[in-house]
Amino acid sequence: MKILVINCGSSSLKYQVIDMTTKNAIGKGLVDRIGLQGSVLTHRTRSGEKHVIKVEIPNHTVAIKLVLEALVSPEYGAIGDLKEICGIGHRVVHGGEKFANSVIINDAVMKALKDCIELAPLHNPPNIAGIKACQKMMPGVPQVAVFDTAFHQSMKPNTYIYGLPYEYYKKYGIRKYGFHGTSHKYVSQRAAVLLKKPLKELKIISCHLGNGASISAIRGGKSIDTSMGFTPLDGLMMGTRSGALDPAIVTYIMCRENLNVDQMNDFLNTKCGALGVSGISSDFRDIEVAAEQGNIRARLALDIFEHDVRQYIGAYAAVLGGVDAIIFTAGVGENASSMREAICKNMEYLGVSIDREKNKVRSEEVDVSKPHARCRVLVIPTNEELMIALDTHELISK
Ligand code: ADP
C-alpha cells in the first residue's frame, strides 16, 4: 500500500510517497514559488536523484497535477499508476479544539477546517487549497487530515487557559494549543521502541529544535504541556521568532517603532529570535561558525537558546514529576552535538549523563547516555511524513 503525504504552504508544497510495507519514501519533492514568478518543481527519486521542472504554477491545483505527473513519470517516477495510491495524508497546522486525532476528510471536516482559519490565517488556507486540489485531481481516493495541534489536545485546562478573562477563551478561542504535535508524537513513540519499554510507563521531555522549536512534556504517550501556545510564537527563542516575552514589550515596541498590528506580527515572527540577537543569521550553523570566530552576539544567541531549553527541561521535569528520557530532534536537535552537550551539562540532578563520544552522532536514532544514567538522552530524527502516512493508513484501513 502506498500513501501520498502532502504539506501545503502558501507558496510551496512538499510531498512524499511512502510505501507502507517498507515505511520508506519512494519519491518526494518540493513545489516552490506557487503563484509567483520562477515556480519550480524539484522531484527526488528513491535513490536521491534530482529532477527539476521549471514551469508556470499559478495555483495549488496545477501544483498537484504536476506532482502526480512526476510521480508516474516513466523516466523518474515513483509509481507505475496513480491507482497505486490508496490514500492521501495532509498536514494541517491548526485543528483548534475540534480535532484531538487525525480524521478522514468529509464535508463536515472541511467546514470545521474553514472555521479554524481565524486561528491560523497564514497556514490553514493553503492546507485547505491542497486538500481541494487533491479532491479534484484524485476523486474517490480517501484523504486524511493530520493536525499539528491534535497531539496536545490532551493538555488539562490549568495548562491551556491563560491568565486572561475567561470569556476570551469562549469568545475567541484564546488558549494554549501547541504545535509540532506530529513530531512530538512520532519521536515519543520511537523512544519507547528504542528503550524497549511501554510508552504508557514513560515520562518523556521531547525537544523539537529546528528553525521553529518547541518542547513537550509527555506522560504515558500523552502531551501534558508544551512550550508553544496560542500561536507558534510562544516558548523558546527560535530562528526568527522571539519566543516568550513580557507581553508589555509588544505594545512598548509598537509605540516606540510606530508599528501597526501586521508589522508587529511580522516583526515578532521574522526579525527576532537568534537572527535578531546575533544580527547574522537565523541558521544555527552560521551562528555557530560566527561564535567560534569570536562574535559575541552570535555566542549570546546560542547561550540564550541553551538557557531556554534547559529552563523548559527543568520546568517539565517538575510538571512530570521526574523524567525517564529527554529526546532531541529536528535540525538543531538531531545535528548540533555541541548544543546538546551544553544543554545537558550539570543535569546530574535529573540523572542525565551523556557520553561525549556517543553524542557526536548526527541524524541517527541513538541513546547518547552513559550506561548508568537514570534519565536517558536520545537523539531521534523526526519523520512527520511517516507519522502522517501511518495515521492515514490506519484510518483508511478501518
Ligand atoms: P524547520 O523544519 O523548522 O525549517 P529544521 O528542523 O530543518 O527546521 O531545522 C533547521 C535548523 O537546523 C537550522 O537552523 C539549521 O541551522 C539547523 N541545523 C541543521 N544542521 C545543523 C548542524 N549540523 N549543526 C547545527 N545546526 C544545524
Q: Which of 182, 214, 284 to mutate to test the pocket of ligand 1 (most atoms within 8 A of CB)?
A: 284
Contact 95, 109 (CB under 8 A): no
Over range 322-344, report the average pLDDT. 97
pLDDT in tens, 206-250: 999 999 999 999 999 999 999 999 999 999 999 999 999 999 999
**SS3 of residue 109 by DSSP:** helix
Q: How confident is the model at residue 120 (pLDDT cuts 50, 70, 90)?
A: confident
Is 229 in the same domain as 338? yes
**SS3 of residue 239 by DSSP:** coil
Q: If you measure from the C-alpha of residue 332 to the centroid of ligand 1, how many angstroms do you get, rounded to a whole number? A: 5
pLDDT in tens, 66-89: 999 999 999 999 999 999 999 999
**pLDDT value of position 23:** 95
**SS3 of residue 21 by DSSP:** coil
Sheet with 213-219, strands from edge to edge, namely: 222-226, 213-219, 203-209, 325-329, 376-379, 366-367
Contact 149, 182 (CB under 8 A): no
User: 301 CB contacts (<8 Å, ≥6 apart)?
Assistant: 237, 274, 277, 278, 287, 291
Q: Which of 332, 337, 379 to mutate to test the pocket of ligand 1 (most atoms within 8 A of CB)?
A: 332
- Is the residue at 166 inside a domain? no
In whole angstroms, give the CA distance from residue 251 to residue 228: 21
**pLDDT value of position 242:** 97
Q: What angle do CA 335, 336, 341 make, to 5 degrees?
A: 125
Look at ligand 1, atom 1, and give the residue with the nearest C-alpha: 211
**SS3 of residue 100 by DSSP:** coil
Q: If you measure from the C-alpha of residue 304 to the centroid of ligand 1, how many angstroms do you get, rounded to a whole number? A: 17
**pLDDT value of position 57:** 95
Q: If you measure from the C-alpha of residue 364 to the centroid of ligand 1, how many angstroms do you get, rounded to a whole number? A: 15
Which of 148, 225, 324, 367 is catalytic? The answer is 148
Q: Give the predicted TM-score (pTM) of the model.
A: 0.95
- Is the residue at 329 inside a domain? yes
Q: If you measure from the C-alpha of residue 145 to the centroid of ligand 1, how many angstroms do you get, rounded to a whole number? A: 26
Q: Which of 211, 337, 361 to mutate to test the pocket of ligand 1 (most atoms within 8 A of CB)?
A: 211
Alpha-helical (H) ranges within 34-180 are 60-71, 107-115, 124-137, 157-160, 166-172
**pLDDT value of position 378:** 98
Q: If you measure from the C-alpha of residue 208 to the centroid of ligand 1, how many angstroms do you get, rounded to a whole number? A: 11
Considering only CA atoms, which of 13, 149, 152, 154 is closest in space to residue 88? 13
Query: Number of folded domains in the chain?
Result: 2
Distance of CA 8 to the CA centre of its chain: 13
**pLDDT value of position 122:** 83
Is 10 in the same domain as 92? yes
Is 131 in the same domain as 224? no
3-state secondary structure 262-319: HHHHHHHHHCCHHHHHHCCCCCHHHHHHHHHCCCHHHHHHHHHHHHHHHHHHHHHHHH
Contact 159, 217 (CB under 8 A): no
- Is the residue at 217 inside a domain? yes
Q: If you measure from the C-alpha of residue 211 to the centroid of ligand 1, how many angstroms do you get, rounded to a whole number? A: 6
Please give the share of the chain, as a percent, with pLDDT higher than 90.
96
Final residue before a domain boundary, out of 112, 131, 147: 147
Q: What angle do CA 77, 145, 215 make, to 5 degrees?
A: 100
Is 216 in the same domain as 353? yes
Is 353 in the same domain as 243? yes
**pLDDT surpasses 90 at 398:** no
Q: Is 148 in the active site? A: yes
Final residue before a domain boundary, out of 132, 147, 162: 147
Look at ligand 1, atom 7, and give the residue with the nearest C-alpha: 331
Q: Which atom of ligand 1 is nearest to the CA of 287?
A: 16
- Is the residue at 228 inside a domain? yes
What number of residues does the chain have? Answer: 398
**pLDDT value of position 118:** 86
Is 9 in the same domain as 92? yes
- Is the residue at 133 inside a domain? yes
**pLDDT surpasses 90 at 160:** yes
Q: If you measure from the C-alpha of residue 212 to the centroid of ligand 1, how many angstroms do you get, rounded to a whole number? A: 9
Average pLDDT, the chain: 96
Quote the DSSP letter at residue 118: G
Q: How confident is the model at residue 41 (pLDDT cuts 50, 70, 90)?
A: very high
**pLDDT value of position 347:** 97
- Is the residue at 386 inside a domain? no
Is 141 in the same domain as 206? no
Treating both helix axes as pointing N-terminal to C-terminal, what angle do 384-397 and 181-195 enclose, rounded to 10 degrees?
90
Over range 167-189, report the average pLDDT. 97
Residue corresponding to grid cell 476523486: 139
Residue 215: strand pairing partners: 207
Contact 56, 125 (CB under 8 A): no
Is 282 in the same domain as 372? yes
pLDDT in tens, 280-321: 999 999 999 999 999 999 999 999 999 999 999 999 999 999
- Is the residue at 188 inside a domain? no
Is 137 in the same domain as 213? no
Is 207 in the same domain as 269? yes
- CATH code, domain carrying 237: 3.30.420.40
Is 307 in the same domain as 234? yes
User: What is the four-CA torsion angle of 282, 284, 288, 289, rounded to 10 degrees?
Assistant: -70
Is 205 in the same domain as 137? no
**pLDDT value of position 363:** 86
**pLDDT value of position 326:** 98
Residue 74, domain extent: 2-147
Sign of the torsion formed by the C-alpha atoms of 172, 176, 182 and 183:
positive
Pocket of ligand 1 (CB under 6 A): 210-212, 239, 283-285, 288, 330-332, 335-336
In whole angstroms, give the CA distance from residue 64 to residue 130: 8
Final residue before a domain boundary, out of 126, 147, 168: 147
- Is the residue at 175 inside a domain? no
Look at ligand 1, atom 24, and give the residue with the nearest C-alpha: 336
